Every structure is written in structure tokens, then in C-alpha cells.
């Protein structure tokens, strides 16, 4: 199975739908700001996961298109506002929305995309869904959004603290990163008319997939070189002071003198590559990289076991492959 090819093909379905839906009205600059990030690419993993979940419970994939687009709108609204909050200047190789259009239009663009999320849901045809299921989807999406904002708020609060525990950190990324994947699995299964147990398991698969995605991204950041502002480098998360599972783990294990060394580099944008490598060596010394790698493998096995109750199908195979890929991917 060529998983990457399958993902690309599926992503195109949502690329097309997004381009068709985000047409311009007056004032043009506002709609330019609105479209900037949603149409700048992205892997469309959330809608793809919703679609696969719908198929895994035996339903047709087309039914999830409005829901999948809604997920992308919500996700993109969080990216646009997150970039304002983090004062980030670049995303997907482009200027962030507030850098290009200014903070007022970026705030309004994010707000409007949240509204579009729910508007899109109102296009799910009534015969497809019972009224009760429809309300459950609306409530699930709003609950997930609430959890997401809580997670983001926790992230802001944690940024000033060095005593965050691993359980606190896991709650934060479950809310901030995994929530929309949870919703994708749950919503796809609900739309596909899965039974309670199937809905629950696909929701849990989504959560685990989201957690893996975050941990793997953070591992790749310190294990492989990336091109950042024209320089090949490793560990940009360390320079940016980003809280990661490895950092939280290391902080809970580290001796006092190593801790001072570590914290003089973490979040210090002027630190050089050698100093970053020393922090990564401390992560290794305290077993933090192994710890994250083990969590990843544990989550992957758990995610696959969530699929045990599903009948055999192509979509089930793809979901299993995705859980493996989350551990093995190299970029």
C-alpha cells in the first residue's frame, strides 16, 4: 500500500471543495485574508480521518465532505489566531495572516472561519442524518472547540512555568492537538451511522493519532535537520522554548547543574547549534527521547487495537497503516 499516495489523493478532494467554497465578496482584502491559510496547502489529515472513519463503519465517504470541510475551517481558524498569539511570522513557507494583512483582518478572518465551520454543517442534508445525530455533531464540534481553547490557554499559562508535570502536559496536548482528531474520528463514525462502541473507538483512535502526530513532530525536530530561514538546522523547538514531551520529561529528571545548562539554552533564540546539540544530549542522557519514542509505540498499538471491532475493509487497512506511519515517518 502506498500510503502517502493515498493521502495525497484524498487531500485533493478537500482541496477542491475548499477552493470552491471560499469565494470572494466585498471587501476583497478581507476575503483574501480569509483564504490565505486555508488555501495554502496542508495535509487535510482531519477531514481524511473523518472520511476513513465513516467508511470503516460501512458508509460511503461522500457523506463526510461538509463535515470534513467544517473541520478544516475550524483548524485553520485556530492556526490564524494561534499565529497572532505566538507572534509567528511564517507558516507553510508564507507570511502568516496577520503579517500579511495586519492583526484586525487576521482576527476577523479567524472569527469568520469559525462561523463557516457551523454554516458548512448546516449543509448536511436532512435525510442523511437524524435530527438527534445532527445536534450531537454540532455539540461535539462545539465541545471540541471549547477543549481546544482551554488547551491553548493552558499552553499560554505553562509557557511561564518549569514545573509542569507529564500528566499536566499530556492533558494540554490532548486538548490542544488531539481534540480535532478525536472529533474527526467521532464525527465520521456518527455520520456513517456507526454503533456506540464503534463511535467511541474511532474517537479514541483519533485522540491517539493526534497525540502521536504531536510527539513525532517534536521528535523529528530534534533528530533531523530542517531548512529554517535558509539555514539547515536541528532543534528549532529548543531555541523557541517550545514545551515538548522530551523537555517536560527531562525537566522532571534532570540534576540541578544540568538543569541550569539546559534552561540557559531553551528559549534563547541566540543560542548556537552546538549549544542546542548539548541540550539534545541531555535529553538522551536522561532517557527523554527513549521515553517519547516508547510513548509513541504504545499509542500506536493502542490505536490499532481500537480498530479490532471494525469489519475488514480497505479503510480499516489504511487506518492501521496510518498508525504505523505515525511511528516510522521521517518528515
Binding to a second copy (CB under 8 A) within 111-130 occurs at 111-112, 114-116, 118-119, 121-122, 126, 130
Q: Please pick, from the candidates 5, 20, 131, 161, the single residue that binds a second copy as defined by CB under 8 A.
A: 131
User: How many residues sit in the footprint of a second copy (CB under 8 A)?
Assistant: 46
Q: Determine contact, residues 7/315, Cβ cutoff 8 Å.
A: no
Rounded distance between C-alpha atoms, residue 17 and residue 20, angstroms: 5
* Closest separation in Å from C-beta 217 to a second copy: 22
Write each residue from 153 to 192 as x if it is in contact with a second copy (CB under 8 A), else as -, in one continuous string: xx-xx-----------------------------------
| Distances from the Cα of 264 to the Cα of 249, 255, 291, 327, angstroms | 17, 14, 23, 31
Instruction: Tell me the three-class secondary structure of the chain, residue by residue.
Output: CCHHHHHHHHHHHHHHHHHHHCCCCCCHHHHHHHHHCCCCCCCCHHHHHHHHHHHHCCCCHHHHHHHHHHHHHHHHHHHHHHHHHCCCCEECCEECHHHHHCHHHHHHHHHHHHHHHHHHHCCCCHHHCCHHHHHHHHHHHHHHHHHHHHHHHHHHHHCCCCCCCHHHHHHHHHHHHHHHHHHHHHHHHHHCCCCHHHHHHHHHHHHHHHHHHHHHHHHHHHHCCEEECCEEECCHHHHHCCCCHHHHHHHHHCCHHHHHHHHHHCCCCCCCHHHHHHHHHHHHHCCHHHHHHHHHHHHHHHHHHHCCCCCCCHHHHHHHHHHHHHHHCCC
Instruction: Kindly state the smallest distance separating residue 261's Cβ from a second copy, in Å.
Output: 30
CA-wise closest residue to 280 among 210, 217, 218, 215: 218
Q: How far apart are CA 36 and CA 234, in angstroms?
A: 28
Whose Cβ is closer to a second copy: residue 182's or residue 286's? 182
Shortest CB 34 distance to a second copy, Å: 9
Residue 325 binds to a second copy (criterion: CB under 8 A)? no
Nearer to a second copy, 66 or 235 (CB): 66
Residue 3 or 107: the one with the smaller Cβ distance to a second copy is: 107
Q: How far apart are CA 174 and CA 178, in angstroms?
A: 5
Minimum gap (Å) between residue 117 Cβ and a second copy = 8
> Does residue 1 bind a second copy (CB under 8 A)?
no
Site for a second copy in 18-37 (CB under 8 A): 25-27, 29-30
CB of 156 to a second copy, least distance (A): 5
Q: Which of 3, 11, 22, 108 binds a second copy (CB under 8 A)?
A: 108
By rule CB under 8 A, what string of x and - marks binding of each residue 76-95 to a second copy?
A: -xx--x--xx----------
Q: How far is the CB of 8 from a second copy (least distance, A)?
A: 31
Q: Which of residues 267-306 bind a second copy (CB under 8 A)?
A: none
Q: Which stretch binds a second copy (CB under 8 A): 4-12, 13-21, 102-110, 219-227?
A: 102-110
**What does the per-residue mask of binding to a second copy show for 191-220, with x meaning CB under 8 A?**
------------------------------
Where in 234-253 is the site for a second copy (CB under 8 A)?
Answer: none
Q: Rule CB under 8 A: is residue 152 a binding residue for a second copy?
A: yes
Enumerate binding residues for a second copy (CB under 8 A): 25-27, 29-30, 77-78, 81, 84-85, 103-105, 107-108, 110-112, 114-116, 118-119, 121-122, 126, 130-132, 134-136, 138-139, 141-143, 145-146, 149-150, 152-154, 156-157
Amino acid at each position: 500500500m502506498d500510503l502517502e499516495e493515498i493521502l495525497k489523493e484524498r487531500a485533493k478532494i478537500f482541496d477542491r471543495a475548499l477552493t470552491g467554497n471560499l469565494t470572494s465578496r466585498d471587501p476583497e482584502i478581507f476575503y483574501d485574508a480569509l483564504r490565505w491559510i486555508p488555501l495554502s496547502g496542508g495535509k487535510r489529515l482531519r477531514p481524511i480521518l473523518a472520511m476513513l472513519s465513516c467508511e470503516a463503519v460501512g458508509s460511503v465517504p461522500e457523506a463526510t465532505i461538509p463535515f470534513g470541510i467544517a473541520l478544516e475551517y475550524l483548524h485553520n481558524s485556530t492556526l490564524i489566531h494561534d499565529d497572532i498569539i505566538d507572534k509567528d511570522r511564517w507558516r507553510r513557507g508564507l507570511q502568516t495572516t496577520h503579517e500579511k494583512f495586519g492583526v484586525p483582518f487576521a482576527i476577523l478572518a479567524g472569527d469568520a472561519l469559525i462561523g463557516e465551520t457551523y454554516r458548512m454543517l448546516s449543509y448536511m442534508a436532512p435525510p442523511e442524518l437524524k435530527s438527534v445525530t445532527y445536534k450531537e455533531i454540532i455539540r461535539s464540534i462545539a465541545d471540541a472547540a471549547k477543549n481546544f481553547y482551554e488547551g491553548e490557554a493552558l499552553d499560554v499559562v505553562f509557557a511561564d512555568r518549569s514545573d509542569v508535570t507529564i500528566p499536566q502536559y499530556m492533558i494540554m496536548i490532548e486538548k490542544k492537538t488531539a481534540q480535532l482528531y478525536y472529533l474527526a474520528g467521532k464525527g465520521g463514525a456518527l455520520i456513517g451511522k456507526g454503533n456506540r462502541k464503534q463511535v467511541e473507538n474511532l474517537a479514541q483512535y483519533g485522540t491517539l493519532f493526534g497525540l502521536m502526530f504531536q510527539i513525532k513532530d517534536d521528535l523529528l525536530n530534534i533528530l533531523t535537520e530542517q531548512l529554517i530561514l535558509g539555514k539547515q538546522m536541528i532543534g528549532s523547538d529548543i531555541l523557541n522554548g517550545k514545551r515538548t514531551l522530551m523537555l517536560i520529561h527531562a525537566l522532571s529528571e534532570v540534576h540541578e547543574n544540568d538543569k541550569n545548562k539546559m534552561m540557559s539554552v531553551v528559549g534563547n533564540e541566540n543560542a548556537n547549534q552546538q549549544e542546542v546539540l548539548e541540550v539534545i544530549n541531555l535529553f538522551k542522557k536522561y532517557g527523554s527521547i527513549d521515553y517519547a519514542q516508547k510513548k509513541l509505540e504504545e499509542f500506536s498499538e493502542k490505536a490499532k487495537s481500537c480498530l479490532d471491532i471494525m469489519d475488514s475493509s480497505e479503510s480499516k487497512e489504511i487506518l492501521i497503516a496510518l498508525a504505523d506511519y505515525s511511528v516510522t515517518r521521517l518528515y
